[in-house]
């Protein structure tokens, strides 16, 4: 196997690093690129690198599922300043590559290559690959008087230091780094110094757009994981419905002062059992200890709500009672539902991909000063009317709920 080494701080990793690795593999016939994060880079001894574990985790999560890429933590384990020659020797010893390993260096650093520690020995042991970083045209680059391969990679106007600035200012950074790294940055609040103390925190809260709520119900990584699970388990159109429900839940939670990410999570998972076979629905639904109603026996697909709550608890260890309740009663509703359950119930019925929803109902959702219960009563009434028009069965529970909600909203 032919391997190439790509070292750096990866503080944080960004799409430029991955595109570079891809270019090495696809244009120079290497089989695998080994990312080697530096503990302290000899080139940036003063740079205050983020926790090595964070940098390693971001890298590892960014290359998931790509067997052509790997991460080696030898420099992090060695600690201190790592010299390239030690890393090259170590990689050869452990990976036993075919031929010399490639060693990718940027054209900015290559200028001083001959002054690197034991550069002659590096040249003996590795094939130098010079990647474009600052010289757009090959003819502008200095002449490198040592054996090397010139990589014809694209220059991307993106660097880790630039990424750190963007993240600190929360400015257009999220899709310049792979999804895995992005969720780690959000979950661990990396690169967001709070040097100004409380005042700065307050200012940040004030300016925070609705997009930047800190996760409380679950880390972003878990929300992403659950969303992918739903995508795996339901049909593509059901998935779009789930995602749209999640977004409307999010917006309604913002509106009614609930944790929007909790709403998002509940919305995205509410139909997780929708494609499960009947037997599985019965098995899961029984776990809540409630009786099977006549209607559920007649129409087992209704059980996907109860089964969903059980599955979330059993297989995915989701413990949040409000989320579980919301999933549990999203089809028929029940009396004394909590606010999140009401929101999920409504979002499920009126999200943007439901074609039959009256425009006036959607407008109601954005009308100022309509209370949650009032909105819920209207949506519930519309839902019942809609089901009756389609001559579908409606559970007694739903009727009772409708009755109590209408009474409540008229009070």
Cβ proximity of 11 and 47 under 8 Å: yes
Give the nearest distance from C-beta 285 to Fe ion in angstroms: 13
Give the nearest distance from C-beta 271 to Fe ion in angstroms: 4
Give the nearest distance from C-beta 378 to Fe ion in angstroms: 19
Give the nearest distance from C-beta 308 to Fe ion in angstroms: 8
How is residue 343 written in tokens? 């929101």
Give the nearest distance from C-beta 86 to Fe ion in angstroms: 57
Measured CA to CA, the distance from residue 272 to residue 309 in angstroms comes to 9
How do beta strands 102-106 and 69-71 pair? Answer: unpaired
Give the nearest distance from C-beta 270 to Fe ion in angstroms: 6
296 or 348: whose CB is closer to Fe ion? 348
185 or 284: whose CB is closer to Fe ion? 284
271 or 325: whose CB is closer to Fe ion? 271
- What 3-state class would DSSP assign to 316? coil
Handedness of CA 246, 257, 262, 344 (dihedral sign): negative
Measured CA to CA, the distance from residue 23 to residue 29 in angstroms comes to 10
The residues in 335-354 that bind Fe ion, with binding defined as CB under 5 A, are: 348
7 or 308: whose CB is closer to Fe ion? 308
Give the nearest distance from C-beta 243 to Fe ion in angstroms: 11
Measured CA to CA, the distance from residue 332 to residue 76 in angstroms comes to 55
Find all residues with CB under 8 Å of 253, minimum gap 6, and list them. 259, 260, 262, 263, 264, 340, 343
Burial of 211 per CB tally in 10 Å (0-12, 13-18, 19+):
exposed
41 or 383: whose CB is closer to Fe ion? 383
The residues in 368-397 that bind Fe ion, with binding defined as CB under 5 A, are: none
DSSP state for residue 32 in the 8-state scheme: E
Give the x-and-dash track for 7-46 against Fe ion (CB under 5 A): ----------------------------------------
Cβ proximity of 12 and 188 under 8 Å: no
Alpha helices in 220-298 (DSSP H): 220-233, 236-255, 260-269, 278-285, 294-298
227 or 271: whose CB is closer to Fe ion? 271
Give the nearest distance from C-beta 341 to Fe ion in angstroms: 13
The residues in 239-278 that bind Fe ion, with binding defined as CB under 5 A, are: 271
259 or 271: whose CB is closer to Fe ion? 271
Number of residues that bind Fe ion (CB under 5 A): 2
**What residues are paired with 1 via a beta bridge?**
none
The residues in 124-163 that bind Fe ion, with binding defined as CB under 5 A, are: none
Cα of first residue to Cα of last residue in the chain, in angstroms, is 76
Give the nearest distance from C-beta 342 to Fe ion in angstroms: 15
How is residue 332 written in tokens? 């028929």
For tokens 């009563």, name the residue: 377
Buried b / exposed e across 36-65, counting CB within 10 Å, b at 16+?
A: bbbbbbebeeeeebbebebbbbbbbbbbee
221 or 244: whose CB is closer to Fe ion? 244
Give the x-and-dash track for 278-317 against Fe ion (CB under 5 A): ----------------------------------------
9 or 332: whose CB is closer to Fe ion? 332
Applying CB under 5 A, the residues found at the interface with Fe ion are 271, 348
């Amino acid at each position: 196997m032919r391997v190439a080494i790509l070292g750096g701080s990866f503080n944080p990793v960004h799409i430029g690093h991955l595109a570079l690795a891809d270019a090495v593999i696809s244009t120079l016939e290497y089989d695998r690129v080994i990312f080697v994060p530096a503990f302290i880079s000899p080139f940036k001894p003063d740079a205050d690198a983020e926790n090595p574990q964070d940098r390693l985790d971001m890298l590892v999560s960014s290359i998931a599922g790509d067997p052509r890429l790997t991460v080696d933590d030898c420099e992090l384990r060695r600690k201190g300043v790592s010299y390239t020659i030690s890393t090259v020797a170590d990689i050869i010893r452990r990976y036993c590559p075919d031929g010399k390993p490639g060693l990718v260096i940027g054209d900015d650093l290559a200028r001083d290559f001959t002054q690197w520690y034991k550069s002659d020995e590096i040249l003996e042991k590795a094939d130098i690959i010079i990647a474009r970083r600052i010289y757009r045209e090959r003819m502008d680059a200095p002449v490198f008087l040592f054996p090397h391969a010139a990589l014809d990679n694209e220059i991307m106007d993106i660097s880790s230091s630039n990424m750190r600035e963007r993240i600190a200012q929360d400015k257009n950074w999220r899709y310049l780094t792979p999804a895995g790294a992005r969720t780690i940055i959000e979950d661990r609040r990396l690169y967001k110094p709070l040097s100004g103390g409380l005042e700065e925190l307050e200012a940040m809260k004030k300016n925070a757009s609705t997009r930047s709520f800190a996760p409380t119900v679950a880390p972003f990584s878990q929300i992403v994981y659950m969303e992918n699970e739903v995508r795996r388990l339901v049909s593509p159109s059901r998935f779009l419905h789930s995602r749209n429900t999640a977004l409307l839940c999010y917006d309604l939670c913002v509106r009614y002062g609930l944790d929007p990410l909790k709403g998002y999570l509940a919305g995205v998972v509410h139909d997780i059992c929708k494609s499960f076979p009947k037997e599985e629905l019965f098995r899961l639904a029984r776990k809540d200890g409630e009786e099977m109603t006549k209607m559920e026996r007649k129409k087992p697909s209704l059980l996907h709500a109860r089964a969903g709550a059980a599955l979330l608890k059993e297989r995915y260890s989701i413990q949040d009672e409000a989320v579980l309740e919301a999933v549990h009663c999203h089809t028929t509703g029940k009396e004394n539902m909590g606010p999140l359950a009401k929101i999920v119930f409504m979002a499920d019925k009126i999200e943007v991909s439901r074609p039959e929803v009256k425009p006036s109902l959607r407008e109601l959702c954005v009308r100022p000063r309509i209370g949650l219960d009032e909105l819920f009563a209207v949506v519930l009434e519309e839902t019942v009317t809609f089901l009756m028009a389609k001559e579908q069965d409606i559970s007694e529970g739903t009727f009772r709920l409708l009755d109590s909600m209408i009474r409540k909203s008229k009070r």
